[in-house]
Amino acid sequence: MTIKLNNSWLEYLKLECEKTYFKEIKSFLKKEIKSWKTIYPHPKNIFNALNTTSFNDIKVVILGQDPYHQPNQAHWLSFSVQELVKLPPSLKNIYKEIESDLKIKKNFNNWNLSSWAKSGVLLLNAILTVEASKPASHSKIWWNRFTDKIIKIISKEKTWVVFLLWWNFAKQKEDLIDNKKHYILKSPHPSPFSAYSWFFWSKHFSKTNKILEKDWKEKINW
């Protein structure tokens, strides 16, 4: 499995990709693929969250858990799905909150979030792969170590990034972030099981844009 990272990330992650634990990740995935198991996203897209959002452009980080695990859903961006796929409930609730918060109308037929990623929103899953129909099936293969390193690098090397931590798993990453250099906004998960526990009405999208404006950065077109 070839690791392809754009130069802005390669500068910080090249040595990480040479460590033993990372080689174990690659070995595991190769064996799974040779065993005819279906892995999402496609191996060539595993690192595209990083390749879509340059390290230099990061203004916001939204952390997910792992990719969607049903056919045609899987995307390399957290919470995002590709076109012509049924809108996932969590993303539907994200759109509802955007409408309520920003008083705008969202297109519920377009739920590919690549435009966010290209605008500086890193949509990073903590676990970068999953076996088809088996959520969290790759949670034990060191992905968390790799993505924790990414969060630490962002915290150390950048300033005034807005981290949106929307659920308990994401909130566990708070200790990786220097809150003297960055902004952290927390809420429950946008899932139907927890959205009414204060993901709705959290106003994270307007708050994020106000922070960016204060720091003389361009707002996100949510």
User: Which residues are known catalytic residues?
Assistant: 66
DSSP 8-state symbol, 220: P
CA distance 70 to 61: 25
Residues in the chain: 222
Angle formed at CA 72 by CA 66 and CA 78, multiple of 5 degrees: 30
Alpha helices in 46-88 (DSSP H): 48-52
130 vs 180: CA distance, rounded Å:
34
DSSP-assigned beta bridge partners for residue 164: 62, 185
Q: CA 183 to CA 160: how far, in whole Å?
A: 6
Residue type at 72 in one-letter notation: N
